[in-house]
């Protein structure tokens, strides 16, 4: 099964600001059916929909949290060695530079694709000067 993980980074004042950035809001239409409104994150990367169940946010506000997040990515997130081998060599610098991280993942499960737009891209491009910044686009395979 093909898996993709895209890691974005930004700086926010608080964890609440980060959560607000990725939160999809819902408006009630005339027939009382919820209509999803794109989150700030979705608009910033140019997509109209994602499955939030396949997204993580991490707000890091101290050195211990930075070390913990780095350890999570290298040792705990995925047991597939090809995942950690693809992490940027300067990931530690990024973790020190930013306090907010968004991990969005996709797969082509036999039960149906999740966040298929990530599977179809060579690598997503974040417009220059925009927030968040794409740090990594990792592809690995599992059985």
Q: Does the predicted TM-score (pTM) go above 0.85? A: no
Query: What is the phi/psi pair of residue 77, to 5°?
Result: -60, -45
CA–CA distance, 12 with 82 (Å, rounded to integer): 31
**What are the pLDDT tens digits along the chain (143 aa)?**
888 999 999 999 999 999 999 987 766 665 544 445 778 888 888 887 788 888 999 999 999 999 999 999 999 988 888 888 999 999 999 999 999 999 999 888 888 888 887 877 766 565 555 689 989 999 888 87
CA–CA distance, 104 with 22 (Å, rounded to integer): 11
CA–CA distance, 78 with 68 (Å, rounded to integer): 15
CA–CA distance, 143 with 141 (Å, rounded to integer): 7
Residue spans of the domains in the chain: they are 2-141
Give me the residues paired with residue 106 across strands.
4
């Amino acid at each position: 099964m093909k898996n993709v993980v895209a890691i974005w980074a930004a700086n926010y004042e608080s964890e609440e600001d980060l959560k607000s950035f990725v939160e999809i809001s819902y408006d009630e239409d005339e027939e009382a059916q919820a209509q999803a409104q794109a989150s700030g994150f979705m608009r910033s990367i140019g997509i109209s929909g994602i499955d939030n169940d396949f997204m993580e946010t991490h707000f890091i506000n101290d050195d211990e949290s930075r070390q913990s997040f780095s350890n999570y990515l290298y040792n705990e997130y995925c047991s597939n060695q090809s995942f950690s081998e693809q992490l940027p060599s300067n990931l530690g610098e990024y973790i020190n530079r930013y306090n907010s991280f968004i991990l969005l993942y996709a797969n082509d499960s036999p039960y149906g694709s999740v966040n298929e737009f990530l599977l179809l891209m060579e690598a997503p491009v974040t417009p220059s000067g925009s927030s968040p910044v794409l740090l990594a686009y990792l592809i690995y395979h599992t059985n």
